[in-house]
């Protein structure tokens, strides 16, 4: 399988590193073109990837082409590659937030163009990603299965209708930043009480990792797990009530509302 990337920024490079870590594809079978020649050439050289002189050359070279570019530039790029897309049996995989399959087909002026809309997150880099996928009607079952296989190699996958992509962005695409921010905040409190930041980061990250694993492996709900940690009259309930007094749950839901709104107003 030959996999192309148009745009090699944070997200595409995370996908590439994750794929290479599990030998999903040979480095030379990854074709890249991006905005800044010096940057993508250096990245390609470091990992042994094949560089292309243009976005259209990526479409000519690869079977599956990921669109790893910012939403504001997507229309221009689809117009740039639309003739090549017509000529090649290529499957476009768009990770661009807020842009529907129908909008992409319209930009390509081609309802037969094969497109899978996805929403990954940065943890694909360590093969612990969470990716939503939705193919358009032109994508064959085997082609969609190949796309699912790519992202299964990078973590967990879920097929979702497009109407659910905005909430998925908040819960999985953007949420690593919220979770890193939570880890940083908790660790900073550790520094306040005399730990080094390095010690505190490691302690908190392990506590988050263990808690996440627990949620994934138990039949209990997260709320029941909260109760299990709160000893009557103990430390945890004191901290938990202070967290809620400061509006913890409301803050989290407000972050999700703002993310969904931004995704829908792109």
Ligand X SMILES: NC(=O)C1=CN([C@@H]2O[C@H](COP(=O)(O)OP(=O)(O)OC[C@H]3O[C@@H](n4cnc5c(N)ncnc54)[C@H](O)[C@@H]3O)[C@@H](O)[C@H]2O)C=CC1
Residue ranges at the known binding site: 6-11, 34, 55
Only segment of 3-11, 139-147, 213-221, 242-250 that touches ligand X (CB under 6 A): 3-11
Element (H, E) at 266: none
Tokens describing residue 166 = 């905005």
**Dist. CA 209–CA 182, nearest whole Å:** 13
Backbone phi, then psi, for 159, in 5-degree steps?
-90, 125
C-alpha 156, offset from chain centre: 11
Nearer to ligand A1CAB, 50 or 166 (CB): 166
Binding-site partner at residue 7 among ligand A1CAB, ligand X, none, CB < 5 to 8 Å by type: ligand X
Binding-site partner at residue 36 among ligand A1CAB, ligand X, none, CB < 5 to 8 Å by type: ligand X
Closest approach of ligand A1CAB to the CB of residue 132, in Å: 11
Alpha helices in the chain (DSSP H): 10-21, 37-47, 55-61, 71-87, 101-108, 141-152, 165-168, 175-192, 197-217, 222-229, 235-245, 248-264
C-alpha 168, offset from chain centre: 10
Nearer to ligand X, 7 or 18 (CB): 7
The residue number with the shortest CB distance to ligand X is: 9
Using CA atoms, how far residue 175 sits from 117, 168, 180, 227, in Å, is 19, 9, 8, 24
122 binds ligand X (CB under 6 A): yes
Only segment of 116-124, 138-146, 153-161, 243-251 that touches ligand X (CB under 6 A): 116-124
The residue number with the shortest CB distance to ligand A1CAB is: 173
What are the residues binding ligand X (CB under 6 A)? 6-12, 33-36, 55, 68-71, 73, 77, 95-97, 119-122, 173
């Amino acid at each position: 399988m030959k996999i192309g990337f148009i745009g090699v920024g944070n997200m595409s490079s995370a996908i590439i590193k994750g794929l290479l870590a599990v030998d999903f594809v040979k480095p030379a079978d990854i074709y890249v073109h991006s905005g800044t020649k010096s940057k993508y050439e250096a990245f390609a050289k470091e990992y042994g990837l094949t560089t292309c002189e243009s976005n259209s050359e990526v479409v000519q070279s690869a079977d599956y082409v990921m669109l790893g570019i910012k939403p504001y530039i997507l229309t221009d790029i689809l117009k740039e590659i639309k003739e090549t897309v017509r000529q090649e049996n290529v499957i476009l995989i768009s990770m661009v937030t807020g842009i529907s399959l129908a909008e992409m087909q319209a930009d390509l002026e081609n309802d037969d163009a094969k497109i899978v809309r996805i929403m990954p997150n940065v943890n694909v880099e360590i093969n612990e990603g969470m990716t939503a996928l939705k193919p358009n009607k032109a994508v064959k079952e085997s082609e969609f299965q190949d796309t699912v296989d790519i992202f299964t190699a990078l973590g967990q996958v879920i097929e979702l209708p497009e109407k659910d992509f905005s909430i998925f962005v908040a819960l999985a695409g953007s949420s690593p930043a919220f979770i890193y921010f939570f880890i940083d905040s908790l660790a900073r409190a550790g520094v306040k009480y005399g730990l080094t930041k390095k010690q505190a980061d490691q302690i908190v990250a392990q506590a988050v990792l263990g808690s996440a694993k627990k949620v994934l492996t138990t039949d209990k709900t997260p709320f029941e797990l909260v109760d299990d940690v709160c000893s009557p009259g103990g430390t945890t309930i004191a901290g938990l009530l202070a967290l809620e007094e400061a509006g913890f749950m409301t803050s989290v839901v407000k972050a999700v509302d703002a993310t969904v709104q931004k995704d829908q107003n792109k």
